[in-house]
Chains A and B, each alone.
Chain A
Amino acid sequence: MSNQPTRAELIDTYRAKARESQGSKLKKPVPVWDDDLIPSTGDKAYVHDDIDTLLDSVGIVQAYRLWCGKMEPIEGSRTESVMVSCPIPGHQDDNPSAWLNTDKDVWHCGACSEGGDKFDIAAYSNDYNVPGYKTDGSFPDLRRDMAYDLGYRVTPAIGTADIVTPLTEDESDDEDPEPAEPIFAGDKAPAPNLQVVQVPDTDKLASATADASIIEIPTDYNAEIEIAPSIEWPDIVTEGTFLREWMETCSVDDLPEEYYFWLGLMALGLATGHDVVLDDRMPVKANLFVCLFGPSGIGKSRATYPFRRLLSEALPYDAVDPYSTGVHQMAQPGSAEGLLESFSKPIVDPMTNVPSGQYAIVRGLLNIAELSSLMGRAARTGSTLRPLMIELYDANSSIQEVTVGRGVRKAEKPFCSTITTTQPKVVRDVLAKGDAESGFANRWIFAMGPPKKLVAIGGASIDVSESARLLIQIRTWTSQKRAIRMDDEALAVWTKFFDRTLVPLKMDAESSGLVARCDLTMKKAILLFAINEKASVVTKDIVERALTLWPYLAKTYSMLDSSLGTGEFDECAEAILASIARLHRSTKKWPTVYQISRAVPRRFGRDVVERVIKTMAAINEISVAPDVSGKRGRNAVRYKPATDSDPATAYK
């Protein structure tokens, strides 16, 4: 600064330099979800200022142009009495008898003596009830629709202001009558290209076990899980693999096959330990927490017998060998201390029999008889059981505890999978809202499936020896440590799924707390599929097959979270489908969420209906209807029954 510029010159210079360097870039970006959950290619959501600022920027004249458009208002220099045709849709008003006041941003029609503001004009245009939208709770929806029309997508965010992001060129292209990729805004759920997993023909499955010595128990004593979602494992599990063999062996049993499916994946994880991970910001580990979900007496615990036999045969635990990769099968912990103790394996010098101060890694299977008993213990004052279990699930570090009486207790990188059971009646009490959101409940997979005919006596026995042989091969393969990556195509499929399906759910303040961690569960599924096929690189095919589990998971979580019985869920879903059809017949237009929620029987409650709509959209039972109104801007999202559910095109 030797030439001593004047103050004015300095200000000009600094201002010019500041503007040159695009300081405005700061205003947009704010990812608000957990950084750890952002895939390396997926952080695309930014916080604009906020929806208030956005809507405040719209004056009454612009609002009239955008949402009414009956005529072009001639402003001139006037700030009031800008004459226009009345914005009320039913009012023909060829000789303009309404006027806009730009000072106060209001309008009034002299002919019909009605008046209002820009929100009313937008509400007429988007088929809201005027002035009902002000009191019936749909005002937030209207604001989101308005933002849409202005070229912004609004996504409700958890614990912070709504996220306002500009629509991309493709998204805001009015010319395209049928957007190829429906987008998500607020409570308008996405319509990912997911196929509906069909409930298999239970008779056919049961006939596999037909045997003269078998006495069959009718299943209608338990209608509640009659319509539980199912997994079409023969379509997604590669032949000749451990999981295929395991499923083929176990599916002769009379229990829901989904139980065995998740247990099979869990076995793969236990054979793997920390040795193979999915490469991510926080490497994804192969352990699972599975809760077998079904009414008492169905034989949930029975499903664990062949599973535990498999582990004993293929992955025996050696309590002395510090390098044992076997599975330590543990009983229910009495306390957090007891649990930590189970994973603590001090290495003793074999020559001197003195502890070396080092600890061995333990792979453990925690077997908890009933979820509610664990929750009961965890709920005791001062219990650290729950946070400890969360740490065990996350499996990222060693856990050390120093107590005055007992000295140091350390679990060296514990690898913990957990299995438990619960009943429908109990689970919703157990998963009190606090738990669903506490990050504890959402670490569990709730395995459920359509029941088969129960066998009272006799039936097929399960021989796990071939499965065990294949599982040993998996363990040998995994003994070479590796971090598996997705190849480019796989990453593209995953990122698309993440952005289109999971992010909106995560961002939706009203969506289930249970789905908050669903991306981690999906990543674990991808990893386990890769391990099952001994694939060092995750291919597109693996990701696509793993992603077919999503409708299943979404439905299980939704059913648990919405305080709906599975029967009620489907009853509500049916009512929704019927309402959509009825509204379409009468109005010739596919209805909006708001219209549907008004049309279904009141007993379901509007929030339940909206939640079920979201789930139905997420699992492609309904989809976003193309916008055919030809109106400027984007209109309210409308739903129609899904027609395209071809699995071959999913995610491609």
Chain B
Amino acid sequence: MKDQQNEIIDLLAKRFIARPDVHAEQWNNGGWSPKEVPFGRKLLQSHLDGKATLGHYMLSEEDECKLFAFDLDLDKPTKDRNSGMVIPIYYRLDDGTAIPINPREAWYGDNQEIVAGLTLELRSLAEILALRVRTMFDLDVAVAFSGNKGLHVYAFLGMPLPAELAIEMSNAVLGSFNEMFYATDGKNFYKHRSPAFEHVTVETFPKQAKRPNGGYGNLMKLPLGKDSRTGHKGFFVDLDAPDDVLQSTDPIPTLKGMAVQGV
């Protein structure tokens, strides 16, 4: 058991941590603050144990990163900036009726038809992206439940590479769908045009090609940790399980790039 934990820690460090001298910790309200304390075995163990929730900054001091990723989140109703009116999001039930939902709440709600439908959307989109990463760049990929409102699709570069290139690659993956993804808000947020994924937004990481002056740039939550806000523990998703459920899978083969059979 101890060996297994150590192996996971090693793999997390190898696959994810581009900037080892600083990490971020999530507060209970979901916010993050940087800690200029290097990642260590103990720290990562506390992350796996759910005692702390750690984030890794995407860019190294040399502006390189070890992965690019797609953060798939369920959408939420937003307010129209002009009128202040909430713009509702509808879900079409099997009987044809459309009901307004907050997908993020509905995913944890009682209506199993909606829960399964939203899971299916997330899973399908994650698999489509993972598959495209594989076919385009022959990279190892992994899909993880973030512990909160969606999934992360990771594409591991195998070694630290310029962040600029990683951004180009993530954009190329979305761009290869022939304008099916369109930017919604800023340069890193996208939505898929088809109604098949109408409740999911896609955010790409890394966001910066170079670290902003005096800052670390954006971070991502390390997988397998507990989300401080929801209390849910993240896990790697078994892509061989039925499409409308999220089942965890062994992180070791996943992180070694051996386990993503379905993709």
Binding site for B on A (CB under 8 A): 1, 7, 10-11, 14-15, 17-31, 34-35, 43, 46-47, 158-160, 281-282, 396-398, 413, 434, 437-439, 509, 513
Contact = CB atoms under 8 A, between A and B. Distances in A.
A614 to B, nearest CB: 18
A30 B182 contact: yes
A25 B82 contact: no
Interface of B: 80-85, 87, 90, 97-100, 136-138, 158-159, 161-162, 165, 168-169, 171-176, 178-179, 181-184, 190, 193, 195, 198
A538 to B, nearest CB: 21
A468 B40 CA distance: 83
A514 B234 CA distance: 46
Nearest to A34: B87
Contacts of B171: 18, 23-24, 26
B83 A439 contact: yes
A131 to B, nearest CB: 32
Contacts of A35: 198
B174 A160 contact: no
A119 to B, nearest CB: 27
B188 to A, nearest CB: 10
B98 A396 contact: yes
Contact of A438 (B83, B159, B179, B198): B83
A159 B81 CA distance: 5
B181 A7 contact: no
Given A22-B176, A22-B178, A437-B82, 7 more contacts: A10-B161, A17-B137, A22-B175, A26-B175, A397-B99, A434-B83, A437-B85
Most buried by B among A22, A34, A398: A22
B175 A25 contact: yes
B10 to A, nearest CB: 20
Contacts of A31: 182
A14 B158 CA distance: 12
Contacts of A43: 193
Nearest to A159: B81
B97 A397 contact: yes
B176 A282 contact: no
Given A19-B172, A22-B176, A7 B81 contact: no
Given A17-B137, A158-B82, A23 B168 contact: yes
Contact of A14 (B137, B181, B198): B137
A437 B159 contact: no
B172 to A, nearest CB: 4
Contacts of A26: 171, 174-175, 181-183, 190
Most buried by B among A18, A20, A29, A31: A18
A368 B164 CA distance: 62
Given A15-B168, A513-B83, A21 B97 contact: no
Contact of B172 (A18, A29, A30, A160): A18
B81 A21 contact: no
B169 A18 contact: yes
A437 B85 CA distance: 8
11 contacts: A14-B137, A14-B161, A17-B137, A18-B136, A22-B172, A23-B168, A23-B174, A27-B183, A31-B182, A398-B97, A437-B82
A438 B86 CA distance: 10
A159 B85 CA distance: 12
A160 B184 CA distance: 11
Most buried by A among B137, B159, B165, B175: B175
A23 B138 CA distance: 17
B159 A7 contact: yes
Contacts of A21: 136, 172-173, 175-176
